[in-house]
Amino acid sequence: MAIEIWSVPGVGEINAGDDLATLIAEHVGDTLRNGDVVVVTSKIVSKAAGLSTTMDRTALIDNQTDRVVATRGETKIVRTYHGLTLAAAGIDASNAEPGRVLWLPDDPDADARAIRHGLRDALDVNVAVVITDTAGRAWRIGQTDIAIGCAGIVPVESFAGAVDSYGNPLVVTAPAIADEIAGAAELAAGKLDGTPIAIVRGLRDVWFSVDDGPGAAALIREENADMFGLGAKDAVLTAAQRRPDVRGFPEAEPDAWQRLLVSAQVGIEPSLATAARTGSRIRVTAHLENRSSWLAAGALAARLKFLAIGLGLDATIEV
């Protein structure tokens, strides 16, 4: 399979009220074919929608934040109302007029559908559309473009139940097709070339949907299935503040109570202090009338409090 990717030159500045489907049609003309993917940066979608402001960037980030995932100094990683986890809520001042910042479209999937339908009306072609934004990756340096909206393309392909060339069953293999298209298109469009639109050609037919498809929303992991819903430091601080109401912790697993008692007891001499559970209540007992026993009981109680929150348990600790 050979894939072609090229950027669309000469697009120029996008202004509030511009019709992106009409603008794309004018610049690609009859070169666009059925089965192509039109990749558009969220920045020009935001500009066309008039999502630009001179308000304070910090205030705008707060306005677009559903919850904070992690903070380090001035850097803030948040989950937006779209469900996306991004630095600064995706608020961006690059490629914008000095003093202005842009925020993400309210419904990127709906924008992708509108562009797709507009191109079909203007050029009589059946194409897919992917709307992209730039994001960092946990454990990795640098950024890549991801799909925050799409239409006409399968956003993720599941290989669960298939077997590889050696006959090994595949369980969790699921390529994020829309994200891979976004990253590949960014290589052709670049960040500094003023080409916010790219065309991808040659993808497998199986990756295209007859209708608009589920959109990029299908790529967002549910919060209770997110193993990294908070930053490492932030999870510890949240547990220390005893805030089990904070979203981002996974739901309790069946063996959570057993894990809680075993983990908390590690390093605590049983002759000094132990813990016993009755339902959701855990009683910590100091076995000796001396300072070492009391300190051990206090340490055990503190561990139980932190670990209970981390394991998603609503426990009452008594000493």
Instruction: Kindly report the pTM of this predicted structure.
Output: 0.85
Residue of 161, 176, 181, 186 lying closest to 214 (CA atoms): 176
CA distances from 40 to 7, 15, 130, 147, 300 (A): 10, 15, 6, 10, 54
CA angle, 122 then 215 then 100, to 5°: 75
Residue 240: what pLDDT?
Answer: 75
User: Residue 99: pLDDT above 70?
Assistant: yes
Q: Taking residues 57-66, what's their average pLDDT?
A: 92
Cβ–Cβ under 8 Å, residues 189 and 41: yes
Q: In the chain, which residue ranges form alpha helices assigned H by DSSP?
A: 20-28, 42-48, 57-63, 108-123, 177-189, 232-240, 256-265, 291-310
* pLDDT tens sequence across 135-150: 998 889 999 999 999 9
User: Which two three-digit tokens encode residue 193?
Assistant: 């070339």
Q: Indicate left, alpha or beta for 21 from its phi (over 0: left) and psi (-120 to 50: alpha).
A: alpha
Say if strands 281-286 and 316-318 run parallel, antiparallel, or are unpaired.
Answer: parallel
Q: Taking residues 10-37, what's their average pLDDT?
A: 93
Domains delineated in the chain: 4-51+105-220 (3.30.1330.100), 232-318 (no CATH)
Residue 92: what pLDDT?
Answer: 83
Q: Taking residues 298-314, what's their average pLDDT?
A: 88
Cα–Cα distance, 165 to 168 (Å, whole number):
7
Q: Give residue 104's Cα distance to chain centre.
A: 14
Mean pLDDT over each residue of the chain, to the nearest integer:
90
* pLDDT tens sequence across 209-229: 989 999 999 999 988 788 888
